[in-house]
Amino acid sequence: MISQHITVALEVNGQTSEVSAMADTPLLLVLRNDLQLNGPKYGCGLGECGACTVIIDGVAARSCVFPLSGAVGRKIVTLEGLGTREAPHPVQQAFIDEQAAQCGYCLNGMIMATKALLDRNPSPSEAQVRLELAGNLCRCGTHIEILRAVLRAARLMNVDGSP
């Protein structure tokens, strides 16, 4: 099938922006190149590592294999839509507290997948966290700290009721 050039309105982090690209352009490229949202990372480009994860209508999605045309009319949240440097989201704070990073390349995906999980299930078991993040790869082997960070984030969010 031949892709078409489209101009569409995208809702990202509560703001609507007009973008023009081929309909099958990966959402990741639009976010990074057109909207300068560099939280989502390009890892494998094949939907296999999770570095590019964003949340679409409340569900974690791999933006490297998600076509622009499929994102129209949906609510997209990227890492930039969580906290700020001055006021991190509890999930981000938990990752800082647990020092859950080495190179940090996987962190966008880990944090966004965690946010989607905790919105759905505020008190996951360790086994549920392991299962949820099994498809998010960390080449540095920081998995234990990441696991601790997710469980800490759940505790933090349950205490302060953060969105």
What residue ranges bind ligand FES (CB under 6 A)?
A: 42-45, 47-52, 62, 64, 101-106, 138-140, 142
* CA–CA separation, 96 and 153 (whole Å): 10
Q: What ranges in 5-142 are assigned the alpha helix state H?
A: 27-29, 68-71, 90-97, 107-120, 126-132
Least separation, in Å, of the C-beta of 29 and ligand FES? 11
Q: Record the tokens describing residue 93, joined without a space.
A: 């704070």
Nearer CB in complex with ligand FES: 4/55: 55
**Residue 73 amino acid letter:** G
Least separation, in Å, of the C-beta of 39 and ligand FES? 13
Which residues have C-beta within 8 Å of that of residue 4, sequence separation ≥ 6? 22, 23
Nearer CB in complex with ligand FES: 63/93: 63
Nearer CB in complex with ligand FES: 43/81: 43
Nearer CB in complex with ligand FES: 45/67: 45
Q: Which residues pair with 15 in a beta bridge?
A: 12
Least separation, in Å, of the C-beta of 131 and ligand FES? 18
Q: Is the dihedral of CA 86, 33, 59, 134 positive or negative?
A: negative
Least separation, in Å, of the C-beta of 106 and ligand FES? 3
